[in-house]
Structure 1
């Protein structure tokens, strides 16, 4: 690497934003909210997630990014078969339930097994069944790539949205 290139790399490292600034600025990007769920054969498992994105139509892939501190993700990874539940505008309480660690998150939530056995949440705007295929290290998170095996949506619903640290809905 040339001295000029090294200087640019060092300057970029010094000008990297701090976590608070990054969170504040990225908070201006509105996202949907989902619950990633699986069943390990004994109990349902899940966590709230806002980093869900469609990746490919052919083959059909979806991606999401659990935090490395997640205690739920290793259990869901082991199960392998997932149901990504896209929350509706009136499911903020469901999001809050799945945003915390521990406890029986499914005790107060209506759910039934999806076709792949993973929990499909009642009232969800859409459900995407998928199989975990790949993971990639990404700083304090993991990028998960899953192959979509089935999906369904409620054409009349509205999404739960996350924006600037708060929840809201979509008005037409």
Structure 2
């Protein structure tokens, strides 16, 4: 039996929660001429009626500030071959939008090419939660990508694909 780590040890806590596989998304927002976006694995369905989703975003991030200003955003659910997009939006970098094609969704927020799913969302509530805000949003529109494509997953600090092993994909970095 493995002993539980001290819950105050952030590294052990993060490692323990890494044992939960999650899909990867890029949350995008456009305010005027400014584009914001970040990789987010804390995304989930909240309700079917009405259709609601949640994303958990770190306080102080440019993407959260843009979403608060715009009141809406787009969830781009990444496909198995989109590790590059996850990496591109996973850390702050000033050139992340340079040369990247995208299509404006109904509210003008970037929809990135090749995704499994796009959700145009309007903020319903912001709930403080530690060093994050839980953004609860209504789904206004959705668009499906290639039905044959599989998702990009994250587990144990590595990228994964359904049916694949860590050797099938490069390590996240």
Q: Give the deviation of 1:43 after TM superposition.
A: 2.6
1:94 equivalent in structure 2: 85
Give yes or no for contact 1:94–1:109 (8 Å, CA) kept in 2.
no
User: Which entry has the higher C-alpha Rg, 1 or 2?
Assistant: 1
d(CA) in 1 for partners of 2:162 and 2:133? 29
Equivalent in 136, 139, 163 of residue 155 of structure 2? 163
TM superposition shift of 1:136: 0.8
Q: What do you get for the CA RMSD once the two structures are aligned?
A: 1.5
C-alpha separation in 1, matches of 2:95 and 2:31:
14
Instruction: Give 1:17 shift.
Output: 4.2
The secondary structure found in structure 1 opposite 2:114 is: coil
Equivalent position of 1:5 in the other structure: none
TM-score normalized with structure 1 length: 0.86
Unaligned runs of 5+ in 1: 1-14
Structure 2 residues without counterparts, runs of 5 or longer: 1-5, 165-173
- Contact kept in structure 2, 1:38 and 1:80, CA below 8 Å: no
CA distance in 1, matches of 2:63, 2:143: 24
The number of residue pairs the alignment matches comes to: 158
TM-score computed with the length of structure 2 as normaliser: 0.86
Distance 2:68 2:81 in 1: 28
Q: CA deviation at 1:33?
A: 0.4
* Change in 2 beyond 3 A, CA 1:108/1:91: farther
Hey, which bits of structure 1, 4+ residues long, moved more than 4 A?
none
**Within 5 Å, which residues of 2 pair with 1:80-91?**
80-91=71-82
| In structure 2, distance between residues paired with 1:23 and 1:119 | 30
